[in-house]
Amino acid sequence: MNCPPSRETPSDLHTKLAHLGRAPSEHKGMVNVPVYRGSTIVADSLEEWDSRKTADNPMASYGRFGSPLTRSLEHAICDLEGGYRSILFPSGLSACTHSLMGLLKAGDHLLISDSVYGPTRTFAERVLKRMQIDVEYFHPTRLDDLATRIRPTTRVVYVESPGSMTFEVQDVPAIAQLAHAVDAFVVMDNTWATPLFFRPFKHGADVSVQAATKYIVGHSDALLGIATANERAWPALQSSAHDFGETAGPDDIFLALRGLRTLAMRLQRHWDNGVQLAQSLQGHPSVLRVLHPALPDDAGHAIWKRDFRGASGLFGVVLRPMTREQLSVLFRRLKLFGIGLSWGGYESLALLADPRPARATGLPFEEGMLLRLHAGLESPEDLIADLHQALEAARFVGRAKAVSTATT
């Protein structure tokens, strides 16, 4: 079953999210689609067995290819994304890598935004290059740089807007126009905005991937990836997932459907908290720059305002250089922010990162150290107070060290 065109407006989203993927009449009146656990799916007759076969997957009547629970989430996400069909993967990275594997072959040229999610970059370097795929990186915000790198052999242009570490916002419609001129596919990582705040197919993407682990699940208790394709890209995406035997566990799918029901409310809170926290850090003595597209003075704000419906809770802060001792104090003093790699859950997170070694085209900042923050669902006043007191504690260590050095 293909996903019908979506006609919702932003005001419809709360209602839509409460009902997408649900069919109580098909499940004995159950409000939620039951968890289907199983591998073998039997038929009562040869005729019934043959009727289940599909042209694109003759072996569809098997647990690896999904259940009514699987279809419920796939159809819900497809509707939200505005795509043709969706398919589930066991992790967000799996959705990224298998989307690329399905579209690329030896000899193809792949262009990747230099702000891409680190594990996707690692996959391109370790696996795709070994498969004789020509991998190249382009500056995320310079269309002229992309235009000079596109070739007749370019098969995929991979974007992530904003980048989940340095937060450059990309002009996806303009990138798609350049890519489609040479018949290349545009694959977009849409995890930061989710389909509620960015509609990738409306802006020219051919495949949209998401780490549903993050905002869709929303409670940091499941791993899941989702890829949605337009009609042109769907056959390659589907065959890649099937040929590699990718499948997602029923409990994780159930948790993603649960999270979907509150996604609009949670995202609004993440957006509000993130902006308030980011604004509070502007002009702080320990902060050189705040990287948040929703702030008016951010370099990507104009494109964000044009193309996005909102912002998530993830953003970056460029700190003035600190000693190891200061950093240790900073993280030790934080009470509401955990040190963690993921994001998108209800909890707030802080992570020190250095994107310099991987970048080929330069960073949006020249000095300082990057602190990535995820604003959770706590009180914004509490988050602001917690982060500021930790920054002040780190500053005090620095001042005390400077005074001690000066007097000896």
Least confident range from 28-32, 229-233, 234-238: namely 28-32
Q: What is the mean pLDDT of residues 137-163?
A: 97
Measured over all CA atoms, what is the biggest interatomic distance in the chain, rounded to whole angstroms? 91
Domain count for the chain, please give it. 2
The residue from 84, 117, 158, 215 that is catalytic is 117
CA-based nearest residue to 377, from 334, 331, 344, 332: 344
Q: For the full predicted model, state whether its pTM sits above 0.85.
A: yes
Catalytic hit among 114, 189, 307, 386 = 189
Strand, helix or coil for residue 187? strand
Burial of 158 (0-12, 13-18, 19+ CB in 10 A): buried
Catalytic annotation present for 189: yes
Q: What is the DSSP string of 200-263?
A: TTTTT-SEEEEETTTTTT-SS----EEEEE-TTTHHHHHHHHHHTT----HHHHHHHHHHHHTH
Q: Are the CB atoms for 327 and 289 separated by under 8 Å?
A: no
Q: Of 121, 155, 199, 214, which residue is the catalytic one?
A: 214
Structural domain of residue 139, as residue ranges? 10-261
What tens digit of pLDDT does each residue of 295-354 get? 999 999 999 999 999 999 999 999 999 999 999 999 999 999 999 989 999 999 999 998
Is residue 4 included in any domain, yes or no? no
Q: In CATH, what number is assigned to the domain containing residue 61?
A: 3.40.640.10
Q: Tell me whether residue 39 is in a domain.
A: yes
Last residue of a domain, one of 241, 261, 281: 261
Q: Are residues 346 and 377 in the same domain?
A: yes
- Region 230-257: mean pLDDT is 93
* Domain CATH number, residue 333: 3.90.1150.10
- With contact defined as beta carbons under 8 Å apart, do 365 and 167 qualify? no
Catalytic position from the list 52, 64, 305, 332:
64
Average pLDDT, the chain: 92
228, 261, 294 - which closes a domain: 261
Closest CA to 118 of 160, 76, 86, 67: 160
Question: Residue 6: what pLDDT?
Answer: 45
- Is residue 57 pLDDT above 80, yes or no? no
214 in active site: yes
146 is a domain residue: yes
pLDDT score of 289: 95
Output the pLDDT for position 41.
86
Q: pLDDT tens for residues 99-141?
A: 999 999 999 999 999 999 999 999 999 999 999 999 999 999 9
Domain check: are 308 and 402 in the same one?
yes
Q: Look at residue 94 in the predicted model and tell me its pLDDT.
A: 96
Distances (CA, A) of 334 to 95, 385, 389: 33, 10, 8
Query: pLDDT tens, 375-388?
Result: 999 999 999 999 99
Same domain, 66 and 214: yes
Flag whether 332 is in a domain: yes
**Residue 187 has which token pair?**
């694959």
Residue 5 pLDDT exceeds 50: no
Structure tokens, 119? 């594990």
Looking at residues 131-160, what average pLDDT do you find?
97
> Is 202 tagged catalytic?
no
- At residue 407, the pLDDT reads 54
Q: Are residues 221 and 269 in the same domain?
A: no
Examine residue 3 and state whether it is found in any structural domain, yes or no: no
